Amino acid sequence: MNRLDLAVLELKRLKEAGIDAWIAGGAVRDMLTGSVPRDVDLVIRTDELALRSLYSRMHRVGRKHPVFLIFPWNEAVEVTLLQSDIQTDLLRRDFTWNAMALDAEKRLIDPAGGAEDLHQRRLTAPGDAVEKIKDDPVRILRAVRFSLQYDGEIAADLFSCDGRAGTASQNDSIRADCTGARTDTILMLELHAVGAVFYVDQRGVVSGG
């Protein structure tokens, strides 16, 4: 039984306890591409007190957001407490490929069309791509990693370091963040590092060319 199967069983157990929960993010993406998930993240609609009543071993890891590690099968699983509805939560994510979830019946929740984008190998953001990059310019590097890992094409509007993202001061900040992040590219992109740097240079992500 792989991690995804174990997670589905955990969703069913939570459902029996009257708690809604979903598998979200990378595990769903892996499932749709035929890969075995390396890890599983859960989104749960409950509060911290109720969660602690279910899991004796639990650690908070999120500073700004209610993110915890639980150990439902003697292995760490990241859990985020839902602060809105599941579709709104998914639409806040970086890419449509990550904006998908599975419920306890393994039904796909896909408000941004991530499954079709993944099938077409089209990497884009749910909602306003420029705003996504302004929020976290390092997402450019994640986009490069995904594009190389899945042989995907990155949507043009994700390349927002070219001055289209906002005011002059905002653009300077974004360029600085992207430039500073370039030194982390090799560490972040694992086996695809050299190809990723080439891709970044060719697309002008760092220089704005």
- Say what the pTM is: 0.76
Identify the pLDDT of residue 96: 96
Tens of pLDDT, residues 18-59: 999 999 989 999 999 998 888 899 999 999 999 999 998 999
Strand 77-81, strand 41-45: pairing? parallel
Identify the pLDDT of residue 29: 94
Identify the pLDDT of residue 197: 57
CATH number of 3-116: 3.30.460.10
From CA 178, how far away is CA 174, in angstroms rounded?
6
Q: Hey, where are the domains in the chain?
A: 3-116, 121-203
Tens of pLDDT, residues 130-150: 888 778 878 888 888 888 888
Class of residue 141 by CB neighbours under 10 A (exposed 0-12, middle 13-18, buried 19+): buried
Tens of pLDDT, residues 58-101: 999 988 889 999 999 888 999 999 988 999 999 999 999 999 99
* Per-position b or e across 44-60, b if 16+ CB within 10 A of its CB: bbbeeeebeebeeeeee
